[in-house]
Each structure stands twice: as structure tokens, then as C-alpha cells.
Amino acid sequence: MIYVIDHEDSFTYNLVHLLDNFAPTYVSNYFNIDKKKLDTCKIIVFSPGPGDPSNYPETQKIYHQYKGLKKIVGICLGFQQILYGEKGQIIPQKKIYHGYQSRIKVLNGSSLFKPNKILLGGRYHSLKLKEPFSHQNLKITMRCVETNVAMAIEDTINNVYGFQFHPDSFLTVDGKFLIQKILQSK
């Protein structure tokens, strides 16, 4: 089972329908967690949502509690929540991308996607990861071609993954494939 923690976003259920292709998916609000289900699920997904990671201490707690024990996937805000949990700083960006289709490049360090491949992804974010950011296990594996902003992360040791863009958006080409790769990685 996949457990989606919803941060009251208006895109969460697009993601849920994508995930449902691969495993039964349960959704709850971040402030209304079913602990039993969270314990039994195989994968935890942090949904997109408004605001910044510091607004959601409950999700931070869950991240630290389950990191390394279960696969954790973060989308948009969820992606930032993972980085924030790893001491990354999340800051406003100059150009804001809401409803924007960007060209995104896969970097050499990716273990899931073909390096140098260019993807088209839909974006809805005001904030970004402050760089330089370095981490022992967590690697930045995709970047925006235009602005170089971090677009994906992979930590193959702890099984933590994330996208800053929305694989669930109709603006993303073949988002289902992107999700599939992450869900089926070991």
C-alpha cells in the first residue's frame, strides 16, 4: 500500500490516480494521520501543497521517523520537505513557475533515469532549494535547463526520492513512467 500525506493541495488527487496504477493508495490529511496504516504501508508519499516545509512539523516528524525504514517520495512541497529534513534551505526564487512547462535535464548521478535525457515537466512552485547544497547520500539528479534549479533528488541508500515538478500534471509528458521508475526502484 502507498500512503499519501495530503497537504491540502488542489493537485493531490491527480497524483493519487497516478499512484493507483501501481498499488492501492490511501490518502489522509497531514493533520489526520492513520498511524496503523502508516505503519503497514510500503511507501509514503508527501503531497504538494501551499506554503513552505516549516509550516508542516507533523510531516517532518514522519520523515525522520520512517526515513530508511520505508521508501519515501516527495512531490513539489513534498520534495522541499525532504530537503528541509536534510538541512537544506528552501527560499523564494526570482522567477516563479505556476502552470509552466519546463525543459528538465537528467544529470549523470541519476540511478533511475538516463543521463542527459530532456523531459518536459509541469511546475507549480514559488520556492526552491538554496544552493550549494551537499549531502552524503541525497543527490540532485535533475535540473531545470533554463534556470538550473534542482528538479529531482535520489537517495538510493535510504530509498528517498522526489520531484520539484509535478509528474501528475497534464503538462508533464509521461508522468506515469516517471512515477513507475521511482515506485519500482529497490
Partner 1 sequence: MLNNKEYLNKIFQSNKPLIIYKTIGGFDVYTDFNERIVLNSKNFKSFLNIKCNKLNSKIKELNCYVGFFGYKLLCKNIDIKLPKQQTSNFYPGLVYKPQTLIKIRKNITIKSLLKNFRKKIPPQKKDYHFHEKKFNLNLNESQYSNLFEYFSKKIKLGETYQIKICQTYSNKSHIDAVNFFWKLMSINESPESFLMRDKDYSIISCSPETLITKKKNTIITKPIAGTLNRTKKMTTKYAMSYFKKNEKESKEHNMIVDMERNDLSRICKSGSVKISKLKSVEKYRDLYHYVTEIKGTLKEKTSNHDIISAMMPAGSVIGCPKINTLKLLNSRERLNRNIYTGSFGYINANGDMRFNIIIRALLNFKKRTEISAASGVVIDSKAKKEYKENYIKAKSLLDLFKI
Write out the residues near partner 1 by the rule CB under 8 A.
Answer: 8-14, 16-17, 20-21, 49-52, 77, 92, 96, 98-101, 122, 124-127, 166, 168-171
Q: How many CB atoms lie within 10 A of CB 177?
A: 13
Q: How far is the CB of 162 from partner 1 (least distance, A)?
A: 16
Distance CA 85, CA 87 (A): 5
Take residue 87 and report the three cell numbers written for it: 538541512
Q: How far is the CB of 7 from partner 1 (least distance, A)?
A: 9
Name which of 17 and 61 has its Cβ closer to partner 1: 17
Name which of 113 and 165 has its Cβ closer to partner 1: 165
Q: How far is the CB of 67 from partner 1 (least distance, A)?
A: 24
Looking at the DSSP bridge assignments, the partners of residue 71 are: 43
Q: How far is the CB of 136 from partner 1 (least distance, A)?
A: 28
Q: CA nearest 123: which of 17, 11, 5?
A: 11
Name which of 141 and 172 has its Cβ closer to partner 1: 172
Looking at the DSSP bridge assignments, the partners of residue 44 are: 3, 72
Distance CA 115, CA 113 (A): 6
Name which of 156 and 180 has its Cβ closer to partner 1: 180
Q: N- to C-terminal Cα distance for the chain?
A: 15
At residue 118, what are phi and psi to the nearest 5 degrees?
A: -105, 125
Name which of 12 and 159 has its Cβ closer to partner 1: 12
Q: How far is the CB of 182 from partner 1 (least distance, A)?
A: 18
